[in-house]
């Protein structure tokens, strides 16, 4: 089964400034959720977030994409068998699911998440 894009995150040096920008330009609204300076997007058409900039495997992130997968173990096997590389071990986000970050064959970083059954698509 194809893995749909389920989530994006915008990483920002100044979360307040980025929030104002996307409110004005895209018409999105933001709901605080989880850690400080983490907001969920409303109106983006797919689950989205705005958060403080971070690094994954020593790489400074701009936009993050997370794909929903049915079987994280099988996806990890497929990533590695097809020339990709895991950047993190699987880790659990309580109430959401289990996530890994990986690098594709072109050096792009993305996430693969096996969502918990109660999490809406």
Report how many domains make up the chain: 1
Kindly give, in sequence order, each residue whose CB lies less than 8 Å from that of residue 73, ignoring residues fewer than 6 positions away: none
Please check whether residue 16 lies inside any domain of the structure.
yes
Whichever domain contains 29, its CATH number is 3.10.180.10
What was the pLDDT predicted at 76?
A: 95
Please check whether residue 120 lies inside any domain of the structure.
no
What was the pLDDT predicted at 121?
A: 59
Range of the domain at 36: 5-115
Please check whether residue 101 lies inside any domain of the structure.
yes
Please check whether residue 69 lies inside any domain of the structure.
yes
What was the pLDDT predicted at 38?
A: 94
Residue ranges in the chain whose pLDDT is less than 50: none
Rounded to two decimals, what is the model's pTM? Answer: 0.76
Please check whether residue 121 lies inside any domain of the structure.
no
Q: In this structure, are residues 79 and 39 in contact, taking their beta carbons and an 8 Å threshold?
A: no
Helix runs in 7-113, H state only: 15-26, 72-81
Count of beta carbons in the 10 Å neighbourhood of residue 35? 8
Dump pLDDT digits (tens) for 24-58: 877 899 999 988 899 999 988 899 999 999 888 88
Please check whether residue 28 lies inside any domain of the structure.
yes
Q: In this structure, are residues 89 and 100 in contact, taking their beta carbons and an 8 Å threshold?
A: yes
């Amino acid at each position: 089964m194809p893995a749909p894009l389920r989530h994006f995150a915008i990483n920002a040096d100044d979360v307040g400034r980025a929030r104002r920008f996307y409110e004005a330009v895209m018409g999105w609204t933001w709901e605080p959720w989880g850690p400080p300076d983490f907001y969920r997007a409303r109106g983006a058409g797919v689950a989205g977030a705005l958060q403080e900039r971070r690094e994954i495997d020593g790489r400074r992130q701009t936009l993050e994409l997370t794909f929903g997968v049915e079987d994280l173990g099988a996806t990890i096997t497929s990533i590695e068998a097809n020339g990709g590389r895991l950047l993190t071990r699987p880790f659990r986000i309580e109430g959401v699911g289990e996530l890994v970050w990986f690098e594709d064959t072109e050096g792009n970083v993305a996430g693969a998440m096996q969502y918990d059954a109660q999490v809406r698509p």
